[in-house]
Structure 1
Amino acid sequence: MTDQKRVAVVTGGTGAIGDAIVTALRAGGYQTVVMGRRGGDVRADLTSEATTKQAAAQVLHEYGRVDVLVHAAAVIDPMALHELDADRWRRLLAVNVESAIWLAQAFAPGMSERRFGRIVMVGSDTLWSPPGSQFLPYVAAKGALLGVVRTLAVDFGADGIAVTMVAPGLTDTPIARSVNDSAQFDAVVATQAMKRRLVPEDTANAVAFLASDGAQAMTGQVLVVNGGTTLR
């Protein structure tokens, strides 16, 4: 590690899981920059390529470097298949997938120069067990994000940049509670090997590990954090 403190950027850092990730990274010694639409250190509308790139430029100008990028921002927006239209589809893909690409594009050159970098995408275990067609855009977006992870891992590995994904299961957050009642949470817990609701810190601890020097041999991989619902 260099004498200068490493800088981590967390998108969606004002959400429940994002906030837990920020706390875990700060505990690990990172200077952590929160990127959010309505708050945080740097505001960014991730639905727009232009504003996402502007936010990335602002981070580099104000902090001088980025060593870790954690893309925790996400849009779920469940809807019936007949309700899906191009605008909603594109908005969801822009936040969940495209913004991650624009940020990686901006931050990877500096990581390559320093021969160290971590890009961690927050995915979802719905990739292996989709809950239904009402979540089609969300599951499809997370699948695309996994493709981004594996492709960038191949390209960036020689420069010391690891690209990984953490795929949480149903986690007890305000957003999750807005689309799931207690019975639905209980039904998911019943399928887990570990019989408890997942909390944001479960995902945050996995992200913190992947951002650390201890994960230096891991890239292109997915850590599934779902209490054992999916055994991989």
Structure 2
Amino acid sequence: MSGAPGRTAVVTGGAGAIGAAIADALRAGGHEVVVLDRGEVDLADADAVRRAAAAIPRCDVLVHAAAAFDRFTLAGLDLDALRRVLAVNVEAGLLLAHAFAPGMARRGFGRIVFVVSDTFYGPPAPDLLPYVASKAALIGITRTLAHELGPAGIAVTAVAPGLTDTPAAREGMPSAAFDAVRARQALPRTLTPDDVAQTVAFLATDGAAALTGQTLVPDGGLMPR
């Protein structure tokens, strides 16, 4: 699982608990890490994303972990909120892949990892409509780009974590929800950001060279795939 020294990783959402853990894990593996988050760039603004990408001279590993989490049901359909979720969660990742894939292709190596969610397999609440829709789109993009970019040596994967113990999740959900999810998992332990980060870090290594087009689900066995 070698090969990281000299490689640069770009991580979106690095200010969040999961994104920060991913950045740390990639650094520990020898990557130089560039973080793109709200403080650096408005990921809902396509032009801002393009400018941010143009300022980064090299990207060997792209991890799109940023996510907008606006919530509404069909009855409360909010197109502005939907467009923001899709802009941050889907379009920003696609724009960055578009910007960095040519350089990856020239070097004959690249990794693109989209952080999605196991809620795609079993949405737990109807007001997660925009979030789940955006993650479903990324899974489709993963499968499609894997075929387009594979001949250039670029692997494209997705990571779909389960309910993870982060400050944002704790703020938005009662402790009983964590207990209920943990009880349903095959591995009855509360998931941590490092569980996600280590999965992503593995996908960035040479040891994951044969993995592409796949969605890995580090959720303790809640949604076996």
TM-score (norm 2): 0.97
The RMSD of aligned alpha carbons is 1.3
> What is the CA-CA distance between 1:196 and the residue it aligns to?
1.2
Distance between the aligned counterparts of 1:11 and 1:90, measured in 2? Answer: 19
- Aligned match of 2:24: 23
Amino acid of the structure 2 residue aligned with 1:29: G
Task: Give ranges in structure 1 of 5+ residues lacking alignment.
Answer: none
- Aligned match of 1:13: 14
Distance between the aligned counterparts of 2:162 and 2:104, measured in 1? Answer: 30
Distance between the aligned counterparts of 2:162 and 2:224, measured in 1? Answer: 12
Kindly provide the CA deviation profile for residues 46-87 of structure 1, in whole angstroms up to 9, marking residues without a partner as x.
101100001101112xxxx11000000001222343333110
Identity over aligned pairs, percent: 58
Amino acid of the structure 2 residue aligned with 1:27: A
Alignment of 1:85-100 (within 5 A): 85-100=78-93
Distance between the aligned counterparts of 1:101 and 1:131, measured in 2? Answer: 26
Do the aligned residues in 1 keep the contact of 2:5 with 2:30 (CA within 8 Å)?
Answer: no
> What is the CA-CA distance between 1:230 and the residue it aligns to?
1.0
Q: Structure 1 residue 173 and structure 2 residue 166: aligned?
A: yes
> What is the CA-CA distance between 1:3 and the residue it aligns to?
10
Distance between the aligned counterparts of 1:198 and 1:12, measured in 2? Answer: 19
Amino acid of the structure 1 residue aligned with 2:205: S
Higher RCO structure (Cα 8 Å, ≥6 apart): 2
Alignment of 1:126-205 (within 5 A): 126-205=119-198
Q: Name the count of aligned residue pairs.
A: 224
Q: Structure 1 residue 110 and structure 2 residue 103: aligned?
A: yes
Do the aligned residues in 1 keep the contact of 2:112 with 2:154 (CA within 8 Å)?
Answer: yes
Distance between the aligned counterparts of 1:164 and 1:3, measured in 2? Answer: 18
